[in-house]
């Protein structure tokens, strides 16, 4: 993993920058490339435009690692508001959230209860909730809580990160247990080699392998439905070819991408008849999200620095 990427991911949890950077108009401008806006209304406008182009959405109210029960309740209530607004606007759009936003660091029971409120409301409204995957310190607890929620709710899915060495075993077990509603991605955090693949090609191969596992006939019979979350054509074309070769219909899976990234690819897959879901973040807590996006592509950092300090 290049040093710049490691440094940017480390900076994503820097409190000083988290408070200072959002005050600069230039950094807000750069954030707008990846974030739909600061309010739910902005996100709804963005999703409506995506729907009009044949793309579905998943709204993410930005925020992570809340430090009080009140903050977790506010995050929960924002998701309840988002679900009601999606329904009222008749949008094709799920929601994505982080368990640390729902209070996982404070009290697991509180987090579970907040999730139940959201999942109950989402079920009433015919919607679906995706649990994002955070850094490795949270993986075990996130999977455990997801499994617990699956005992009562069908409308919940989880994210698995292909860079983690454990992920093949996790996917095997989730699929075998009939809870394979999986978003599969490479992974956005900086994890040590003891637990994560660091070479780019190895991570790509791991993502391809996880997709094959979730697309196997036995997996699909057990309800597995993978969202292939990648902008990498080596992954996307592999999945398309694999599905074609084995007669797996496009309705058995979907592609997922991030708001503002590879828009032509998003549109071209939708035109070819694939379901493409765009992750649409909004809110004022965009700093860590922006840092992870900058870390993924050095050219983004150059763009960001130019915007901050001028050409």
| 65 contacts ligand FDA (rule: CB under 6 A) | no
| 29 contacts ligand FDA (rule: CB under 6 A) | no
- The half-sphere exposure of 228 on its side-chain side, counting CA atoms within 13 A, is 33
Buried b (16+ CB within 10 A) or exposed e, 193-226: eeebbeeeeebbbbbbbbbbbbbeeebbeeebbb
| 306 contacts ligand FDA (rule: CB under 6 A) | no
Tell me the number of residues near ligand FDA by CB under 6 A: 24
CA 202 to chain centre: 21
Among 123, 231, 242, 252, binds ligand FDA (CB under 6 A): 231
Among 186, 220, 275, 285, binds ligand FDA (CB under 6 A): 186
| 202 contacts ligand FDA (rule: CB under 6 A) | no
Among 114, 167, 213, 256, binds ligand FDA (CB under 6 A): 256
CA distances in angstroms from 86 to 57, 118, 119, 255, listed in the order given: 10, 14, 15, 21
| 161 contacts ligand FDA (rule: CB under 6 A) | yes
Q: Which is nearer to ligand FDA, 224 or 235 (CB)?
A: 235
| 266 contacts ligand FDA (rule: CB under 6 A) | no
Among 262, 263, 284, 303, binds ligand FDA (CB under 6 A): 262
Among 27, 114, 230, 266, binds ligand FDA (CB under 6 A): 230
Q: Which is nearer to ligand FDA, 102 or 188 (CB)?
A: 188
Among 62, 258, 269, 307, binds ligand FDA (CB under 6 A): 258
Binding marks (x or -) toward ligand FDA, 280..299, rule CB under 6 A? -------------x--xx--
Concerning whether 311 is annotated as a catalytic residue, the answer is no
Concerning whether 132 is annotated as a catalytic residue, the answer is yes
| 188 contacts ligand FDA (rule: CB under 6 A) | yes
Check 183, 277, 292, 293 and give the catalytic one: 183
For the CB of residue 13, give the shortest distance to ligand FDA in the complex, in Å: 14
How far apart are the C-alpha atoms of 52 and 91, rounded to whole Å?
A: 10
Q: Which residues 76-135 are close enough to bind ligand FDA by CB under 6 A?
A: 132-133
Is the CB of residue 40 less than 8 Å from the CB of residue 78?
A: yes
How far apart are the C-alpha atoms of 103 and 118, rounded to whole Å?
A: 13
Residues that bind ligand FDA (CB under 6 A): 132-133, 159, 161, 183, 185-189, 229-232, 256-258, 261-262, 279, 293, 296-297, 300
> Annotated active-site positions, please?
132, 183
């Amino acid at each position: 993993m290049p040093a710049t990427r490691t440094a940017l991911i480390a900076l994503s949890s820097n409190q000083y920058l988290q408070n200072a950077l959002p005050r600069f108009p230039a950094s807000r401008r750069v954030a707008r490339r990846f974030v739909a806006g600061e309010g739910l209304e902005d996100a709804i406008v963005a999703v409506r435009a995506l729907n009009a182009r044949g793309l579905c959405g998943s709204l993410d109210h930005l925020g992570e690692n809340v430090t009080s029960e009140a903050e977790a309740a506010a995050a929960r209530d924002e998701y309840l508001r988002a679900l009601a607004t999606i329904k009222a606007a008749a949008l094709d759009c799920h929601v994505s959230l982080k368990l640390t936003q729902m209070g996982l660091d404070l009290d697991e029971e509180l987090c579970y209860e907040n999730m139940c409120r959201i999942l109950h409301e989402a079920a009433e409204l015919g919607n679906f909730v995706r649990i994002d995957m955070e850094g490795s310190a949270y993986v075990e607890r996130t999977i455990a809580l997801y499994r617990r929620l699956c005992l009562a709710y069908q409308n919940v899915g989880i994210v698995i990160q292909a860079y983690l060495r454990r992920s093949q075993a996790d996917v095997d077990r989730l699929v075998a247990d009939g809870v394979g509603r999986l978003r599969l991605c490479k992974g956005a955090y900086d994890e040590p080699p003891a637990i994560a693949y660091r070479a780019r090609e190895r991570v790509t191969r791991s993502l391809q392998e996880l997709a094959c596992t979730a697309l196997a006939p036995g997996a699909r019979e057990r309800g597995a439905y993978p969202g292939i979350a990648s902008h990498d054509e080596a992954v996307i074309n592999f999945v398309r070819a694999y599905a074609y070769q084995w007669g797996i219909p496009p309705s058995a899976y979907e592609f997922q991408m991030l708001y503002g990234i590879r828009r032509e690819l998003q549109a071209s897959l939708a035109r070819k008849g694939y379901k493409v879901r765009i992750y649409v973040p909004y809110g004022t807590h965009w700093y860590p999200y922006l840092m992870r996006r900058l870390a993924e592509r050095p050219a983004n950092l150059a763009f960001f620095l130019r915007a901050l300090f001028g050409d």
